[in-house]
Structures are given as structure tokens and as C-alpha cells.
Amino acid sequence: MTSQLFKLLMVFVIALPVFSTPPVFSREISSYAFVNDDGSLRIKRKTIHLYGIHVPKTSQNCRTNQFPQECGSRAALALKFKIKGFVRCEIMDKNPDGSLIGFCRVNASRLSEGEDLSAYLLERGWAVALPDAPVEYQAMEKIARARGFGVWGIQIDRPLL
């Protein structure tokens, strides 16, 4: 009788964490991605913002020598060109609005971790590094700014206050 009680107790102890913890979001999402106008990704009905960066809003106009263009749509267009196939995102955090923050990569294989989408946008000047972003992201932004790439090469119209 005591061995049966011991087995039952062990099953309860092993199963307790499974049933007592609230469900959490997946630590990794891998699937086909749609690019939203704000530069976020839509994967498996979840909105994922790229880790460590901010993409200028679509409504912000950027002025070139020829005609006004939208900064945000350029970043989204750059992502659309880069993403051909599946995207793999490691979920880093969750925003208060329910969207996720992910470290997302493309062209991953068994031999390669793939290309970092945040770094891709930073190198081309279509995003800015957040204050808590890795040092590498900060450096990529500074290089793009110094070279006049992306938003750093065009004047951004700001509303008058």
C-alpha cells in the first residue's frame, strides 16, 4: 500500500508544475511572415516587433530631392524584399498591447543561424537602435547615420509645435 501511495504522490509531484503554471507564449515561432506597414511581422496570427529597433512610423513623410515619400513603407518594403520564405523568431518579450518582441532571422539552416532582420534594417538606415539594444546594433545605426543611409540620408518632416 505504501508503494502505491508513493507512486501516486510522485505522479502528482511531477504533474503539478504542468497544471499549475499558466500557459505562456511559445519561445520560438517559425513560419511564413507577412510584413506590416510599421515594419512589424505577422506570423501565425501574432504581431512581432523586431528586437532592439524602432522603425519610423508609416505616417511620417520623408522628403527627398524629388518628392515626399514615407519612411515606414521603405523599411517595410526592404523587409518584404529580404523575407523570401520562412522566418524564425525567438520571442524575447511581450508588449502590454499583446504583441511580441522577437529576435527574427531568415535563411536559417542546420549549418547557419540565418540573417538577423533587425541588423539588416539598421545597416541600411531604415531603423534606429533602441537605448537598451545590443552594442552591435548601436554601432550599426551610427555607421548608417555617418554614411547617410536610409532615413539618415533624407530630411524627415516634423510637425510644428
The per-residue pLDDT for 140 is: 97
CA 20/CA 61 separation, integer angstroms: 50
Closest C-alpha among 58, 47, 56 to residue 89:
47
- Return the C-alpha cell found at 26: 511559445
Between 87 and 7, the more confident residue is 87
How do residues 64-98 score in pLDDT, each as one tens digit? 555 555 565 788 888 998 998 789 999 999 999 99
Q: 85: number of CA atoms within 13 Å, CB side?
A: 8
Using only C-alpha atoms, the chain has a radius of gyration, in whole angstroms, of 21
How do residues 23-52 score in pLDDT, each as one tens digit? 445 589 999 999 998 889 999 999 999 999
Overall average pLDDT of the 49-59 stretch: 83
pTM above 0.85, yes or no: no
Tell me: pLDDT of 155 over 80: no
Q: In CATH, what number does 24-155 get?
A: 2.40.50.90
Between 135 and 4, the more confident residue is 135
DSSP E strand boundaries for 8-153 = 28-32, 34-35, 41-43, 46-50, 53-54, 61-63, 68-70, 86-94, 100-106, 115-116, 128-129
